[in-house]
Amino acid sequence: MKFLRYGAPGQEKPGILDNQGQIRDLSEKVSDLSGAVLDPAALAKLADLDVDALPLVEGTPRLGPCVAGTGKFICIGLNYADHAAESGMAVPPEPVIFMKATSAIVGPNDDLLIPRGSEKTDWEVELGVVIGRTAKYVSEADALDYVAGYCTVHDVSERAFQIERAGQWTKGKSCDTFGPTGPWLVTKDEIADPQNLKMWLTVNGETMQNGSTKTMVYGVAFLVSYLSQFMSLQPGDIISTGTPPGVGMGMKPPRYLKASDVIELGIEGLGNQKQVARADT
């Protein structure tokens, strides 16, 4: 199943994609895609719905973030060996964990705002893992039982804020619009192997990233288990699992986003995003 949220910012409604790729309204069945609704068992019950009998959403509404009520936006750094190499950093002996402010979360096709003073806004396509029920001290063998599904995430980064201005990475990762999420929350039954998904990103039609989740250093099940040793993971939390090579920082010379650039990205089975870069005023 492919769940989504549609409507104006802050007024999104829950929806589901039918077999014809049309949006069906879920408002009469669930209040939103958050909390207990994300429990894998609850999502499985929705599989019994006659999707074609649900109200059809006319037109092409804005798509919002595919999950509501995200409490933690957890990111994993340097989780692809070839990306670590292009960044001039060693593969870490344990996952690098940092947080992205939840205020950065926007819809998959919303404008990407280049923050004031930025000269090094960069792109990163990433696999997002959405937690469906509380996970604490879970084993790697059981970890996927706590996952609601997967989504495409754009982990936008301002490299000067992140790396050159001391402190931690969070301030270079958390600017408004730096977390486009969606278009869909895709349930686990539709993804045979989260460690074998093609992923790509283009800027103005030029391919920048063309990779696969198979080259992750630390896989999804390991990451869910690992994180749950340090913090409880709650329904709606998102884990952004790292990016393959091809980011602007790794180019020679480096290349970064500027106003009017068009960024398109996607992950196999999880849907595509498209953003236009604008200067934040």
In the structure, what pLDDT confidence band is assigned to residue 161 with cuts at 50, 70 and 90? very high
Lowest-confidence region among 5-14, 87-96, 142-151: 87-96
Is pLDDT of 167 > 80? no
Identify whether 35 is part of a domain: no
Identify whether 167 is part of a domain: yes
CATH code for the domain of 249: 3.90.850.10
Write out the residue range of the structural domain in which residue 97 sits.
Answer: 63-279
Distance CA 75, CA 240 (A): 5
Q: How far is CA 154 from CA 6, 31, 92, 233, in A?
A: 18, 26, 22, 21
Q: How many CA atoms lie within 13 A of 200 on its CB side?
A: 12
* pLDDT tens-place string over residues 6-49: 999 999 999 999 999 999 999 999 999 999 999 999 999 998 99
Identify whether 120 is part of a domain: yes
Q: What is the pLDDT of residue 82?
A: 77
Distance CA 1, CA 100 (A): 27
Q: What is the pLDDT of residue 180?
A: 98
Q: What is the pLDDT of residue 277?
A: 98
In the structure, what pLDDT confidence band is assigned to residue 241 with cuts at 50, 70 and 90? very high
CA nearest to 212, candidates 268, 153, 155 = 268
* pLDDT tens-place string over residues 184-223: 999 999 999 999 999 999 999 999 999 999 999 999 999 9
Is pLDDT of 121 > 90? yes
Distance CA 132, CA 144 (A): 10
Domain count across the chain: 1
Q: CB of 199 within 8 A of CB of 212?
A: yes
Identify whether 145 is part of a domain: yes
Identify whether 215 is part of a domain: yes
Q: How many CA atoms lie within 13 A of 150 on its CB side?
A: 26
- Output 11-18 pairs: Cβ under 8 A, ≥24 positions apart: 12/64, 12/65, 12/68, 15/57, 16/46, 16/49, 16/51, 16/54, 17/184, 18/51, 18/52, 18/54
